[in-house]
Structure 1
Amino acid sequence: MYLNNHSYYSLRYGTLSEIELLEIAQQHGCTHFALTDINNTSGCLNFIRKAPDYGITPSIGIDFRNGADQCYVGLAKNNDGFLVLNNFLSEYLHNKKDFPENAPLLENCIIIYPFEKILLLEKTTFLEHEFIGVKLTDIHKLRFSKLSSFTHKLVVLHTVTFRNKRHFNIHRLLRAIDTNMLLSKLPETQQGSPDCKMIPVEFIEKAFEEYPYILENTKSLLLQCSIEFNFTKTKESQNLKCVFGSLDEDYKKLIALCEIGLPKRYDCITPAIKQRLEKELALIKQQNFVSFFLINWKIIQYAKSKDYYHVGRGSGANSIVAYLLEITDVDPIELDLYFERFMNLYRASPPDFDIDFSTWDREDVTRFIFEEFSTNNQVALLGAYVTFKHSGAVRELGKVFGLPKHEIDKLSDGKYVISELDELSVLVLRYASYLNGKPNYLSIHAAGILISEKPIHYYSATHVPPKGFPTVQFDMHIAEDVGLHKFDILGQRGLGKIKDAITIVKENHPSVVLPDIHNAKPFFKDAKINAMIEQAECIGCFYVESPAMRMLLKKLGVSDYLTLVAASSIIRPGVAKSGMMREYILRHKNPERRKEAHPVLWSIMPDTYGVMVYQEDVIKVAHHYADLDLGEADVLRRGMSGKYRSREEFQAVKDKFVANCRKKGEPDDVIFEVWRQIESFAGYAFAKGHSASYAVESYQSLFLKCYYPLEYMVATINNGGGFYNIETYVHEAKMNGALVHPPCINTSSIETIIRGKEIYLGFQHLQGLEKYTMLKIGKARLNGKFTSFDDFTTRAALSIEQLDILIRIDAFRSLQIDKRSLLWQAHYKNNHVPVHELQQQLFKVKTKHFELPKFTITDLENAFDQLELLGFTLYDSFMLLQKPPTSTITSNDLGKYLHKTIVIYGYLVTVKNTGTSKGDRMYFGTFLDQNGHWIDTVHFPPVAAKYPFRGKGIYRITGKVVSEFDFLSIEVTMQERMVYISDPRFDSTYNRKTTPEEQNNFRLLK
C-alpha cells in the first residue's frame, strides 16, 4: 500500500534511515514496502539486505524530481528494471539537466505520475506501465475529474517521509539548509506536507473505501515488484571475472607471469618458495580471485610503461604472487609473512591491495582503469557519505534561524553556559543533536574504484563529482555486502619525491649511475643508511621523519629492516594506546622482560616477543588462543573498526572468543586483558606486509637522503614537503651543506632548483606572486638572461605590485643593483605606466636618470622581507631576537644535565596537541636549538594551560631533562615566546648598530 517512501538518503529532505523505515513498516503490519528516495539510490541495497529481518518483501525505485517538484515515481519490477532506472537517473545527474515531464519508455519499470501533475500536463493517454498516483488529499478532486474513468490506472500514492511532528520540523530545517534560506522565508513549494508520515493501512483503506479498485491496483503493483541480491556469506564476487577472455586463460596467464617473476625476484628458488607459490595459486583459483590479481598487474604494467613509481601495500603484500607480479616489493619468504592474513578458505573477499602513486600520476592511472575495463559501463569510483557533525550542524542551523555570526561561533565552539542561552539558541543545539550523524551529501571514497562484471548501474545510479569520474551512491560497506570489492588507488607525495629526486640527481650529477630503486634489498644492508636510521636522521623520508617516529627509532635503536618493519606498525595509534608499544620496546631491549609473556602468545608471536604488533596477530591470537576458525578470526579483525563493530556477527564472535577461552580454563583477567589489547589496536594496526611495504619505501627515500641529500631535499620541497613545512626542509638542506638562495630572475624557475651545492628557491614560494608572473619571467628568459632592470621591465612587463615583490626578495641581485635603488626606479619609471600585455612598444620612452645616494642594505632588512614574502627567513632566526639568549645550552649538551633543570632556547617547528585519559590537553613540542639541532619537549596539562604556545617563533624553555630508553627530552615547567626586534624600516625608535647613513636610507624608503 506504500509506494513512495523516503529515507534520509533523500538528501536534505528525508529524516529516517532505511532501517527505521523497515521498523515502522513492520509495526504497521506491512508485508510489502517500497523505498523510493529522491534522485538517489544510496539506501537501496541495504534496504534489500535488511528487509527479510523485518518480514518484508522489498521494492525499490526512485522519486524523480526537479528540485522539490515531483515529476513521477519509478518502481523497479525486477533487477533489470533497477538497472534501467539507474541508467535513466545517472544520465540526468551526469549532465545536470532536468527530467522530462513525461518519462520515456523504461522497460521492466512502473511509472507513477502524481494526480496533480497529470492534471497540469493534461495527460489522457497512458502506456501499460504508467499509472496515476492518488494522494489522500486528492480523493475529493477525483470525483469530479475525467481521470476517475481510468479505473485500472489509479493507485494510492501516499508518501512516507517523517515519523512525527519533530521529524517534520527537521525536514523543514534541512530544506532551509539546502536552499540557503532563512526558515521563516522557506516557501511551501520547497517542503513536503506534514501529512507525509506513516499512517495505519486501515486508515488508507477507509479513505479509499469508495474506490476498492484503487486499493487492488496498488496491491497488484507491489506484488509485481521483486528484486534480489545475494548478501549471504557464500555469495560470489561481483567483480570483473575475466581479463583475458576466459577463466582458463586467466589462470594460465597468472601462472606464466609467476614463472617469469621467479628468477627476477630470487637468485635461488628454494623448495619453500615453490611450495608457497603452489599453495597461493591453488587458493587464488579456488576462491576465484585470479582476475583480481591480473587487474592489479595490468594497472602496474601501465604505470611502469609511463615510468610512474608505485608502492603496493595492504594484506596483499603478504602474497608471493603479488611479489612476483611486481604489485608489491615485499618478499613474504624473507619476512615469513602470515599466509592466512592474505587469504584463507573462510575469507570471501579478496586481499587488499592499496597501490600508491605520486599525486601527479594517480589521475592518469585512474583514467587508464576507466578506459581499460569499462567496455560495458563497469567502472566507477566508490562513494562515501559526508554526515552532519555537531559543530557544522550548529553553524547551518544558526544561519537558517537567523542568528548573528558571533552567536553562531559561540554555540559552535561550545563556549556557552546552557542556562544563559535564549530559546532560539537552545533550539539550534537541540536540532543539531538530531542532525548529528545523518547524511548531508555524497562524496568520494579516498581511494576505492569498483570494477564489476555487470554494468555498475545494476547496483546503483552514479553521479559525477568534481573529480570527473562516475561515482556510485553507496559506500564500501554496502559494496562488500553485495560482493563488489574495491581496488584502492591512492596518491602519495613520498613517491613523487623519490621520482623527482632521481631526475634531479641525474641532472646535477650526469656521470652518476644510480642503482635500481625498486630493488631495495641492497639498501637494507647498507651500513650508512642503517646508521642514519639509528640516529633518526630521517627528515624528509617517508613515514620515518615525524617527531613520534624519530623518538621511536631512537628508543628502539632501529638499525635494520626487520625492526623498522615492526616500528612502522608500532607507531600506529592503537598499538601505543593499548600499551603494547612500551611493552614491545621493553622486551626488545631486555631479554629478561620477555619471560613475562603469556606462553601461548609467545608461541604464536615469537618474532614480536608475544606482543601484538600487526593486524594478523589478531587472527593468530583469535585462532590459536581462542580457538576461533580463520573466518571468525577475520570477522574479529574487520570488526575492530568502522561500521562492522555494530554488526551482529561481530558481537557473536566476541562472545565466542570469551566462551572458548573460559572453556580452556583461562582466567577472566587474562582473557579480558588480551581482549582489551585486541580491541584497542586492531582497527589501527597494519598488516605486516603493509608495514614492510612502508619500510621498503622508507629505505628507498633513505638511500637518496643518505647519498644525495641536497637533491632529495629539493625534490621534497617541490613536492610540497612532508610531515613538516617547507622551511624545515630548507633548514635540513642547509644542515647538509647547501647554500640556499632566495628566488633570482636569472636563475630560478617556478620550482626550486639546484646547481652543484647551491639551491635557488622557486618563484612559487613567494607569497602574492602570481602564477602568470612566473610563467612570463620564464618565457622572457628564453631569449637570454636579463641584463638590466630596464631590460627586464621591457621583456617581462609586470605590474608595480608584482615588481615590488621581486625587488624586496632581492630577485634582481644578479644585476648588481641594491633593492632600495630598484624600488625607487620601479616606482618612478613604472608606477604611472599602464601594462599592455599584447602590445609591444614601438619606441622606448626615455626617462630622466637620477643619481641616487649609495644605499646600504642590512641582513636584518633582508630577513624581514623574507619573513613577509617566504613565510620564513634564510638567515639565522636567532639574530631577530630583541634580547640575545641568556643560555648557550644546546641539544648536544642535554646528556650532561640529565634529571636537572635547564634553560634552553628553541625555534618552534611543530606541536602535537593530545589528550590525557582524563580529557586534559597536553602537548609535545619540537624545536630547533641555536645550532639547528632537534629539541623535544613534553608539556603536561598544568604547564600546557599556564604556558600555552603562542605561535611561531623562538621560545625560552625551562624544564627538566629526562630520558626514556635513552631518548632525551625536556619536561617543561615554564616557557616564554621571545620578542623579535622591530622591523627597522617601520620603527622610528630603532637605532641599534646602524650608521647615520643607514638611518637616512630607512627614512628615504619610508
Structure 2
Amino acid sequence: MYLNTHSQFSLRYGTMDIKTLLKHAKANGVEQLALTDINNSSGMMEFVRQANQCGIKPIAGMAFHRDKQLLYIGIARNREGFKELNDFLTFHNINNKPLPNKPWDFQNVYVVYPFCGDTNVHLKENEYIGIRHEQLNNIFGKPLAGIKDKLIALNPVTVANKIEYRLHEYLCAIDLNTLLTKVGEHNKCKPGEMFLPVDELREFFSMYPFIISNTEKLMTDCSIKVPEEKSRNKKTFTGSIQGDYERLYELTMQGMLYRFGNNNAKAKKKIDNELQVIRDQGFAPYFLITHDIIMHFMDKGYYHVGRGSGANSTVAYCLRITDVDPLELDLYFERFLNKSRTSPPDFDIDYSWDQREAVQQYIFDKYTPQHTALLGTMSTFKDRSVIREIGKVMGLPQAEIDSFTDKTNSYSHDNNPAYKKIQAIYGYMQNMPNQRSIHAGGVLISEEPITYFTALDMPPKGMPTVQWDMYEAEAIGFEKFDILSQRGIGHIKEAAQLIADNQDKKVDIHAVKQFKEDAVINTRLKTSNSIGCFYIESPAMRQLLSKLRCGNYLTLVAASSIIRPGVAQSGMMQAYIRNFHAPAKVVYLHPVMEEQLRETYGVMVYQEDVIKICIHYAGMDGSDADILRRGMSGKYRSRVEFDKLVDKFFAGAKALGRPDDITAEVWRQVSSFAGYSFSKAHSASFAVESYQSLFLKTYYPREFMVAVLNNYGGFYSRWLYVHELQKAGATVHLPCVNHSESKVNIKGTDAFLGLIGISGFENRYHESIPEERKLNGTFINLEDFIKRTGITLEQCIILIRVGALRFTGNSKKELLWEVHNYLGNKPPSKPGNELFNIPAKKYSLPELVNTNLENAYHELELLGFPLSLTMFDMLKTDYRGDFMAKDMINNIGKTVRMIGNYICEKTVHTKKDTLMWFGTFLDAEGDFFDTTHFPNTTPNYPFRGKGCYLIEGKVVQDFDFPSIEVLRFEKLEIKANPVY
C-alpha cells in the first residue's frame, strides 16, 4: 500500500534510516513496501537486504523531482526495471540535463504521476495516477470511467512521527539555505506523511475499493531479487577462469625470477600457497587487472607505490604491484586474503597527484563506462557544522553561533534556550547523511552493468560515481581498486626527469634493495637529514629517527608504525625506544613471545604481531588469527562469532600447555594493543618510498629539492625547501622573465624560482611569458617585454617589485618610473610583432637605488620569504644567541639563550586538558633545533607567527636527542621597511 517512501537517503528531506523505516512499516502491518528515494538509489541494496530479513517484500522505485517538485515516481517491476530507473537518472546526471516532464518509454517500470485534479487524461499501459486519501474529495461525483483502472493509492512516508516532522522542516531549511520560517509548504512534506496501520489506510479508500485493488495488483506484479554472488567484480581478465589462473601463474613465475632468482625454495613454497588461496577465492582477475594497470603505466614512465595490506602478498611483490618483500619482513598473507575473510581486500596504488586521473581514465576506457565507476562516499552532519547549520536556519546572530561551537564555553550555555534547542535537534540530526561525494581513490569494475546496483552521479571531477559508499560496496560484493595520489610520488617522478634533463643520467627508482644496503643513504637516515623525504621529514619523525639512531630499513619500518598517534599515545612508542637501546633488559612473558617479538624488542608494533602471537602462542590458524585481530580492532560483524574465536584462543593455548596466568596476561596485552596496531605491510610500503626519496636527496639533492618545490612541498613552508635547495649547493635566483618557467627550473647549479610562486601574479601569464620567450627569443628591454606580452600595468608592477625584470639593468624604481610612462593611462595592447618598432624616448632620471632591505620586504610580500636577505639579516639586533644547535648536545642541563627562525609549531592537549606546544626552528647557521613549551609558560610567551625568536630555556635530552624546555620566549623585531 505504500508506493512513495523516503529514507534518510532522500538527502535533507527524509528522516528515517533504512532499519527504522522497516521497523515502522512492520509495526503497521506492511507486507510489501516500495522505497522511492528522491533522485537516487543510494539505499536500495541495503533496503532489499534488510526487507528480506524482516519479512517484508521489497519493491524498488525512485521519486523523480525537479526544482524540489515531484514529477513522477518510477516503480520497478523487477531487477531490469530497477536498472532502467538507474539508467534514466544516470543519463540526465552525466549529461547535466534536467529531468523531462515525461520519462522514457520504460519496458519494466510502472510510472505513477501525482494526482493534479484532472480526471480526463490519457495514459500509457504502464502509467498510473497516484491519489492521496486527502485528495479523494476531488474525484467525488466526477466521471472516472477513463481512469478507473489507473487510479492507485499514493500515501507518501517521509517522517516517523510529529517530532521528526519538525526535524524534516529544519532539514528543508538547511537544504534551501534559508530561515526556517521561510520554507514554503510546497518545499516540504505534508505533516501526515508517516506510516499508518494498513487497515486504517484501507478504510480511507473504502468508498473507492478499486483504488486499493489497483494498488495491490501493481505491487503484486513487482519484486526485486538480486542474484546471490560472492563477488560483483569483473569475473575474468582473459575470458575464462582457467585462463586467468594460468596467466597469473605465468606472470608470477616470471616475477619470482626477477625478485628472488632461480633457486629460492622458500619463496616458491609461499607463492604456491598464495596462488592456491587466490584461485580458491576467485581473486585471480583482481590481481591481473591490477597488474595490467601497473605495467601499462610503468611502460609510460609513471611511478607508483603499492601499499596497504596487499603488500603482505608475495605474488603481488612478484607482479611488481608492490616493492615490499614479504619474505624479508615475515609478512602474513592471511592479513590480506584468507579462506575465512568475509570482507574483500584491496590494493592501494599511489601515483603522482598529477597522473592519477590518467590512470582512472585508462580503467574507464578499457572496461567501459557501463561497467566502471568511481566509488562514492556519504558525508554526514557532524559536530560544529551541524550546530552552525541549525543556528543559521534559526536566524541566530553569527557571534552567538560561534560561541555555541566553542567547546570550551559549552558549560556557560546550559541555561540558554536557543542552545538547548540546537542541542536537541543536533541529537536527531547527528550522523545523518548530508551529501554524496567521491571516495579518495576507489574504482569499481563490475561484471554486470553497474546500473543494476545504483544510479551514477557526475561530480565536478568529471567521472561517473556510484551513489553509495565503500561499506555498501563491500556489503554488495565489490572489491574496489584504490587508485590514490600523493605528492611524495610527484617528488620522485619529477626528480628523475630533472636528473635526466640536467645531468643526462637515468635513475632506476625501483632499485630499492640497493638503496637499503647503501651506507651513505643509511648515514643520512641515521642523522635524520630527511627534509623533503616522504613520511620522514616531520619534526616528530626526525626526532624519532634520531632517538633510534635509525640506520636501516627494518628500524625504519618499525618507526613508520610507532609514530602513529594510537601507538605513540598508548606509551608503546616510548617502550619500543627504551627496549631498542637495552634489548638485554627486555623481560618476555614466555619463550614464544621472545621468539616472535625479538625483532620488535617485546613490543607488539604491528597488526602482524597480533596474528603471530595468536598462531604461535595459541595454535590458531592464520585465517582465524586475522579475524580475531580484526575483531579486537572493532571490525567484527558478529559478537557471537568473535567470542567463539576468543574461546578458541584460550583453548588452543591450554592445549599447548601454556600456563593459565601467562595466557591471561598475553591475552590482555594482545587485546589492548590490537586497537592501536598498524599494518606492517603499510609501514614497509611507507619505508620503501622513504628510501626512494632518501636516495634522490643523497645523490641528486638539487634536482630532488626542485621537484619537492614544484610538487608543492610537503610538511613545511615553501621557504624551508628553498633553504634546503641552497644547502644542497644550488644558487637560487629570484624569478626572471628571461630565465624562469612557470615552475622552478634548474640548469647546472642555477635554480630560478617559477612565476607560479609570485603572489597576485595572474595564471594566464605563468605559461604565456615563457612560451613567448621560446618562440621569439629573450626579451630585450622593458618596452619589448610589454609589447610582446600585452601585460597590464598592475601585473607588470608585480614583476618589477619581485625583481623579475632585473635583466634590463635598471633599478626597480627606474623601472616603475618607466612602466608608468608606457602603461600609466593606456589600455594594454595586444601582444604581437610590430611592422615598425619605434623606440620610446629616453629620459634622464636621477639615480634611483633599491636597497637589499627594500628588496627583502618586496620578496616577503610577493614570495612569502626573503631571498636577498635572511630573516636573521633583517633583525634589528646583531645578537645571534649564545649557542648554536650543534652546541646543544654538549650543554645538557644548562640554561641557554638561542635565536631561532620559526619553522612550525604543534599544539598538543595534555592529560589535564591543558595545551602545550612543540616548536621547530633554524639557527643562524641553518641547523634545526626543537623546543617544548609547557602550559605554565606558553600563555605568557606565545607564538606570534613566522620570524625570529629569542629563546631562553633548559637543554634536555631524550635518548641523545637534545631539545630546549622553554622558560622565556619572545619574537624579535626586524628593521623597518625603508619605504615607510
Cα deviation, 1:573-608, whole Å, max 9, x if unaligned, reads 222122222222222221133224555443443322
Alignment-derived partner of residue 311 in structure 1: 305
| Residues 1:132 and 1:833: Cα distance change in structure 2 (over 3 Å) | closer
Q: What is the deviation of 1:436? A: 2.3
Does 2:178 match 1:189? no
Select 1:208's aligned residue among 205, 208, 221. Answer: 205
1:864 is matched with which residue?
Answer: 857
Equivalence for 1:834? 827
Shift in CA distance, 671/881, structure 1 to aligned 2, threshold 3 Å: same
Residues 95-174 of structure 1 mapped to structure 2, 5 A cutoff = 95-116=95-116, 119=117, 122-127=120-125, 129-147=126-144, 150-174=147-171
The amino acid that maps onto 2:346 is D
**Code of the aligned partner of 1:185:** K
2:797 to 794, 798, 804: 804
Equivalent in the alignment of 2:435: 441
Q: Distance in 1 between matches of 2:878 and 2:215?
A: 87
TM-score with structure 1 length normalisation? 0.92
2:322 is aligned, of 319, 328, 332, to 328
Of residues 658-667 and 156-165 in structure 1, the stretch that sits farther from structure 2 once superposed is: 658-667
Aligned partner letter, 2:108: N
CA distance in 2, matches of 1:625, 1:224: 58
Partner deviation per Cα, 1:271-292 (whole Å, 9 max, x = no partner): 1121112111121111110100
CA contact (8 A) 2:81 2:109 kept: yes
Preserved contact between residue 394 and residue 408 of structure 1 (Cα < 8 Å): yes
Kindly indicate whether residue 811 of structure 2 is the aligned counterpart of residue 822 of structure 1. Answer: no
Residue 944 of structure 1: aligned partner:
938
Asked if 2 retains the 8 angstrom alpha-carbon contact of 1:262 and 1:269, the reply is: no
What secondary structure is seen at the aligned counterpart in 1 of 2:873? helix
TM-score with structure 2 setting the length: 0.94
Instruction: Please give the alpha-carbon distance, in whole angstroms, between the structure 2 residues aligned to 1:293 and 1:855.
Output: 69
SS of structure 2 residue aligned to 1:790: helix
Q: CA deviation at 1:262?
A: 2.6
Superposition deviation, residue 804 in structure 1: 1.1
Cα-to-partner distance string for 1:261-314 (whole Å, 9 max, x where unaligned): 232222343111211121111211111101000000110121112211111111
- Answer yes or no: is 1:394 the counterpart of 2:383: no
CA deviation map 1:835-871 (0-9, x unaligned): 1225765655665433222233222111111101100
Output one character per residue of 1:756-787: Cα deviation in whole Å (capped at 9) or x when no partner. Answer: 22211111111011122233321332222223
- Alignment correspondent of 2:696: 704
Verify the 8 A CA contact 2:376 2:466 in the aligned structure 1.
Answer: yes
Secondary structure, aligned partner of 1:159: coil
1:960 and 1:56 map into 2 onto residues whose CA distance is 71
State whether structure 2 residue 719 is matched by structure 1 residue 727: yes
Tell me the CA shift for residue 515 of structure 1: 4.2
SS in 2 for 1:823: helix
The runs of 5 or more residues in structure 1 that have no matched partner are 987-1006
> Residue by residue, what CA displacement relative to the aligned partner does 1:695-725 show, whole Å, maximum 9, x if unpaired?
1211111111001111110111011111112
Give the whole-Å Cα distance in 2 for the aligned partners of 1:57 and 1:396.
37
The answer on whether the counterparts of 1:601 and 1:611 sit within 8 Å (CA) in structure 2 is no
- CA deviations on 1:236-267 (whole Å, 9 max, x unpaired) are 21110111111111111112212222322223
**Distance of aligned partners of 1:53 and 1:622 in 2 relative to their CA distance in 1, 3 Å threshold:** farther
Does the CA-based 8 Å contact 1:292-1:350 persist in structure 2? Answer: no
Distance 1:949 1:654 in 2: 51
Counterpart Cα distance in 1 of 2:725 and 2:830: 38
8 Å CA contact retained: 1:356, 1:491: yes
Partner of 1:228: 225
CA RMSD of aligned residues (A): 2.5
3-state SS, counterpart of residue 879 of structure 1: coil
Contact 1:323 1:330 in 2 (8 A): yes
- Cα offset, 1:454, TM superposition: 0.8
Structure 2, unaligned runs of 5 or more: 655-659
The amino acid of 1:751's aligned partner reads K
What residue in structure 2 maps to residue 520 of structure 1? 512
Match of 2:657 in 1: none
Matched residue, 1:792: 785
Q: What is the rounded CA distance, in whole Å, between the counterparts of 2:639 and 2:306 in structure 1?
A: 29
**C-alpha displacement of 1:622:** 4.5
Change (3 A) 1:407 1:681: same
Contact kept? 1:661, 1:671, Cα under 8 Å: no
User: What SS is found at the alignment partner of 1:3?
Assistant: strand
Matched residue type, 1:101: N
Match of 2:824, SS state, is coil
Q: Which moved further from structure 2: 563-572 or 786-795?
A: 786-795
The amino acid of 2:188's aligned partner reads: Q
* 1:967 matches 2:961: yes
Q: In terms of mean alpha carbon deviation, does 916-925 or 591-600 score higher?
A: 591-600
Q: Which amino acid aligns with 2:820?
A: H
SS at match of 1:293: helix
Provide, for residues 883-941 of structure 1, a one-character-per-residue CA deviation record: whole Å limited to 9, x for no partner. 34362311111112212222221111111222223433222211111211111122233
Matched residues in 2 for 1:891 and 1:404: separation?
A: 50
Code of the residue aligned with 1:551 in structure 2: it is: Q
1:435-834 equivalences in 2 (<5 Å): 435-510=429-504, 512=505, 514-597=506-589, 599-624=591-616, 630-638=622-630, 645=635, 648-649=637-638, 652-653=641-642, 656-657=645-646, 660-661=649-650, 664=654, 665-666=660-661, 670=665, 673-674=668-669, 677-682=672-677, 685=678, 687-782=679-774, 783-834=776-827
**CA distance change for structure 1 residues 652 and 917 in 2, over 3 Å: closer, same or farther?**
farther
Measure the CA separation in 2 of the matches of 1:504 and 1:586: 42
Change (3 A) 1:52 1:917: farther
Query: Given residue 25 of structure 1, which amino acid in structure 2 is its aligned partner?
Result: A
> In 1, Cα distance between the equivalents of 2:802 and 2:178?
47
Of 261, 264, 280, the residue aligned with 2:258 is 264
Q: Contact 1:237–1:349 (CA<8 Å) still a contact in 2?
A: no
Q: 1:12 to 1:653 in 2, by over 3 A?
A: same
The percentage of counterpart residues that share the same residue type is 43
> 1:882, CA displacement in angstroms?
2.7
Deviation at 1:521, TM superposition (A): 0.8
- Kindly provide the amino acid, as one letter, of the partner of residue 732 in structure 1: E
User: Letter of the aligned partner of 2:196 in structure 1?
Assistant: I
> One-letter code of the match for 2:27?
Q
| Distance in 2 between residues matched to 1:815 and 1:650, nearest whole Å | 77
Q: Provide the C-alpha distance between the structure 1 equivalents of 2:832 and 2:778, rounded to a whole number of angstroms.
A: 22
Query: Cα gap change, 1:618/1:918 in structure 2, threshold over 3 Å: closer, same or farther?
Result: farther
Q: 1:265·1:324 contact (CA, 8 Å) conserved in 2?
A: yes
Structure 1 residue 396: deviation in Å? 2.5
Task: For residues 799-848 of structure 1, give each alpha carbon's deviation from its aligned partner in whole angstroms, at most 9, with x where no partner exists.
Answer: 12111111111222232222121122222332123212257656556654
Question: What are the equivalent positions in structure 2 for 1:351-390 lying under 5 Å apart?
Answer: 351-374=345-368, 377-390=370-383
The match for 1:78 is: 78
Cα–Cα, structure 1 residues 478 and 638, in superposed 2: closer, same or farther, change >3 Å? Answer: farther
Question: How far apart, CA to CA, are the structure 1 residues paired with 2:439 and 2:681?
Answer: 23
1:359, 1:230 → 2: CA distance? Answer: 38
Task: Call closer, same or farther: CA 1:598–1:385 in 2, change over 3 Å.
Answer: farther
Query: Structure 2 vs 1, CA of residues 144 and 624 (structure 1 numbering), >3 Å: closer, same or farther?
Result: farther
Q: Secondary structure at the match of 2:675?
A: helix
Please state how far the C-alpha of 1:519 moved relative to its aligned partner. Answer: 1.8
Matches of 1:76 and 1:634 in 2, distance apart?
41
Q: Bigger shift: 917-926 or 317-326? A: 917-926
Number of equivalent positions: 971
Change (3 A) 1:547 1:483: same
Query: What amino acid is aligned across from residue 860 of structure 1 in structure 2?
Result: L
Residue-by-residue CA offset, 1:507-530 (whole Å, 9 max, x unaligned)? 2223x4x44221211111111000
Stretch moving more, 797-806 or 973-982: 973-982
User: C-alpha offsets along residues 338-388 of structure 1, whole Å, 9 cap, x if unaligned?
Assistant: 12213221124453210011111111110000010127x111100101111
